[in-house]
Amino acid sequence: MAKSGFAKDRLRSFVERVERLEEERKALSDDIREVYAEAKGEGFDVKIMRQVVRLRKLDKADFQEQEAVLDLYLSALGMR
């Protein structure tokens, strides 16, 4: 019986932690959306900003590889 109560308490603890983190993630998503809206209001291209943010997350080798492949594809299509 004590073991069952412990498992129930641990489960409740995990679920509550996940719920709190989900709330925090939503708040952060709202904050990010506001920053993009502010940037758009000042004339920045939000789609390009999102690409820049994604690319900045890559390490140097991955970035260079993506850049090379993109350049190859664009050249093959006569866009460079």
Per-residue pLDDT band at 2 (split at 50, 70, 90) = low
Q: Is 49 exposed, middle or buried (0-12, 13-18, 19+ CB in 10 A)?
A: middle
pLDDT in tens, 19-75: 999 999 999 999 999 999 999 999 999 999 999 999 999 999 999 999 999 999 999
- Domain segments of the chain as ranges: 1-44, 47-80
Supply the pTM of this predicted model. 0.72
23 SS3 class: helix
**pLDDT greater at residue 4 or residue 19:** 19
CA dihedral 10, 11, 17, 23 (to 10 degrees): -160
